[in-house]
Chains A and B, each alone.
Chain A
Amino acid sequence: MNTQTKLLIIDDDPDYVAGIRSVLEKAEYSVDVAYNPKDGFQALQSKQYDLLLLDIMMGRGAEGIALARKLRKDPKLRELPVLIITGIREQIAFLFPGQPVHPHFVELDELVEKPVEPKLLLEKVSALLKMAEEKKSQAKK
């Protein structure tokens, strides 16, 4: 069906990607994957997506943050909802003495920490898509 909702995952962990991809595809989403921020940004520029699932620790470091900020400055990608899915607290645990991951670096983001239950993942995805849809229709009025 050509009205299928299109999602992009940018995450460097192939095992993790395989997991959430199958959950999302079972829920009838169309899913593309990029395994590094550069390929990810290129994908976003070449095709229109309805939502981005973004990892944080990739390549040189916390690249997901840089990429999310870049999207917010891009007139074409500014409205794209972003669901950040990160294992950062595990990955560099020594910097997180019991503190939560800072959630407020870009607007309209949701952040969930790995591992994510399939049910929660689908809830977050549909909630963000709905929010973005409402925002769009409000803007049209």
Chain B
Amino acid sequence: MKQYAYYPGCSLESLGKNYHISALEVSRELGLELKELEDWNCCGATAYFPVDELLAYTLVSRNLAIAEKSGLQDFVAPCSACYKNAYFTNSYLQKDADLAEHINYALEADNLHVNGTMKVRHLIEVFIEDVGIEEIQKKVSNPLKGLRVAPYYGCQLVRPRKAKEDVENPQYFEGLLSALGAEPIEYASKTRCCGGSLIITNRKAALDMVHKLLQDAVKNNANVIATTCPMCNVNVEVYQSQVNREFGTDFSIPVMYFTQLMGIALGIEPKRIGVGASMLSLAQSTVS
């Protein structure tokens, strides 16, 4: 069983709990073990950078250092913001010796040392690259036939650019959904932003962004929106009713973590992946 250093991030302990449990269940089903980092801290999301970027890198480095100490090779984050922060901090540690030295001076205070040797990955990448689409497809016992899913990548999963990957029109999420038997829809908003923390700092702007996303997904006949990030999930799910009030719309499209859809397709008991009855009937009604 391949093991991964797993960094759940703060959201997965509260509103993103269903993401957490479904990530663990699906991983186990696919023969992967996510080992949660001991005593991890918050990565800071987007909030440190307006104050002190060096502090942001240091706090992220503490998690990377704890992961390195575990002897595992891969640092896996299910949250797009955590993933982006860990990915870039790790690469700056490799490139900037002065930065690494200064951060290590700070990490000494917790008896840690960071080298920047982890391979930082998002959970969806691990499933697609390490297990493989074909292998996943083989394990599907309950194909999501006829379920039209809007794959919602959001922003920080795909941006900023890391290497030469397609940041405008990625396709791997669609590939995964097809393997589950679902029908990924095409729509222009798949990599548009959900508003992120603007939901708190500029509610009007964020609701507008969520509104546009919902409109696009519904117009293209999606039955469900699948997310890869707890922030996206909260903004699109919880704030749907507020969008309706604000814009006079009547959206009621379910929003699920991609791991929950995987869990259903793999035949995992719904309650173990945080899927309620209404969600399940949706998935099943389209099957029949």
A and B interact physically: yes
A residues contacting B by CB (< 8 A) are 57, 60-63, 65-66, 69-70, 92
- Smallest Cβ-Cβ distance to A95: which chain B residue: B51
- The reply to whether the CB of B54 lies closer than 8 angstroms to some CB of chain A is yes
- The reply to whether the CB of B55 lies closer than 8 angstroms to some CB of chain A is yes
The answer to whether A70 and B98 touch across the interface, beta carbons within 8 angstroms, is yes
The answer to whether B102 and A69 touch across the interface, beta carbons within 8 angstroms, is yes
Residues of A within 8 A of B54 (CB): 60-63, 66
Residues of B within 8 A of A61 (CB): 51-55
- Smallest Cβ-Cβ distance to A60: which chain B residue: B53
- Provide the bound-state CA to CA distance between A3 and B99, in Å: 37
- Provide the bound-state CA to CA distance between A92 and B52, in Å: 9
Residues of B within 8 A of A70 (CB): 98, 101-102
Total CB contacts across the A-B interface at under 8 A: 25
The answer to whether A69 and B51 touch across the interface, beta carbons within 8 angstroms, is no
* Partner of B105 from A57, A60, A69 at Cβ < 8 Å: A69
Chain B interface mostly: helix
Residues of A within 8 A of B99 (CB): 66
Residue contacts A-B, CB under 8 angstroms, 11 given: A57-B52, A60-B54, A61-B51, A61-B52, A61-B53, A62-B54, A63-B54, A66-B99, A69-B102, A69-B105, A70-B98
Residues of A within 8 A of B53 (CB): 60-61
Residues of A within 8 A of B52 (CB): 57, 60-62, 92
Query: How distant is B280 from chain A, measured CB to nearest CB, in Å?
Result: 46
Residues of B within 8 A of A65 (CB): 102
Query: How distant is B80 from chain A, measured CB to nearest CB, in Å?
Result: 22
A-facing residues in B54-102 (Cβ within 8 Å): 54-55, 98-99, 101-102
Fill in one digit per residue for B22-53: 1 if any A CB lies within 8 Å of its CB, else 0: 00000000000000000000000000000111
B residues contacting A by CB (< 8 A) are 51-55, 98-99, 101-102, 105
The answer to whether A66 and B55 touch across the interface, beta carbons within 8 angstroms, is no
The answer to whether A66 and B102 touch across the interface, beta carbons within 8 angstroms, is yes
Query: How distant is A109 from chain B, measured CB to nearest CB, in Å?
Result: 16
The answer to whether A66 and B98 touch across the interface, beta carbons within 8 angstroms, is yes
- Provide the bound-state CA to CA distance between A65 and B55, in Å: 12
Q: Kindly list 17 other residue pairs between chains A and B, CB separation below 8 angstroms, not including A66-B99, A69-B102, A92-B52.
A: A57-B52, A60-B52, A60-B53, A60-B54, A61-B51, A61-B52, A61-B54, A61-B55, A62-B52, A62-B55, A63-B54, A65-B102, A66-B54, A66-B98, A66-B102, A69-B105, A70-B98
Residues of B within 8 A of A92 (CB): 51-52
- Smallest Cβ-Cβ distance to B52: which chain A residue: A61
Query: How distant is B274 from chain A, measured CB to nearest CB, in Å?
Result: 36
5 tightest A-B CB contacts, nearest first: A61-B52, A60-B53, A61-B54, A66-B102, A61-B53
- Smallest Cβ-Cβ distance to A57: which chain B residue: B52
- Provide the bound-state CA to CA distance between A60 and B54, in Å: 6
- Provide the bound-state CA to CA distance between A69 and B55, in Å: 16
Query: How distant is B288 from chain A, measured CB to nearest CB, in Å?
Result: 56
Query: How distant is B206 from chain A, measured CB to nearest CB, in Å?
Result: 24
- Provide the bound-state CA to CA distance between A66 and B58, in Å: 12
- Provide the bound-state CA to CA distance between A61 and B103, in Å: 13
Residues of A within 8 A of B55 (CB): 61-62
- Smallest Cβ-Cβ distance to A59: which chain B residue: B53
Residues of A within 8 A of B102 (CB): 65-66, 69-70
Query: How distant is B95 from chain A, measured CB to nearest CB, in Å?
Result: 14
Query: How distant is B240 from chain A, measured CB to nearest CB, in Å?
Result: 34
Residues of A within 8 A of B51 (CB): 61, 92
- Provide the bound-state CA to CA distance between A69 and B101, in Å: 10
Query: How distant is A140 from chain B, measured CB to nearest CB, in Å?
Result: 31
Residues of B within 8 A of A62 (CB): 52, 54-55
- Smallest Cβ-Cβ distance to A41: which chain B residue: B98
Residues of A within 8 A of B101 (CB): 70
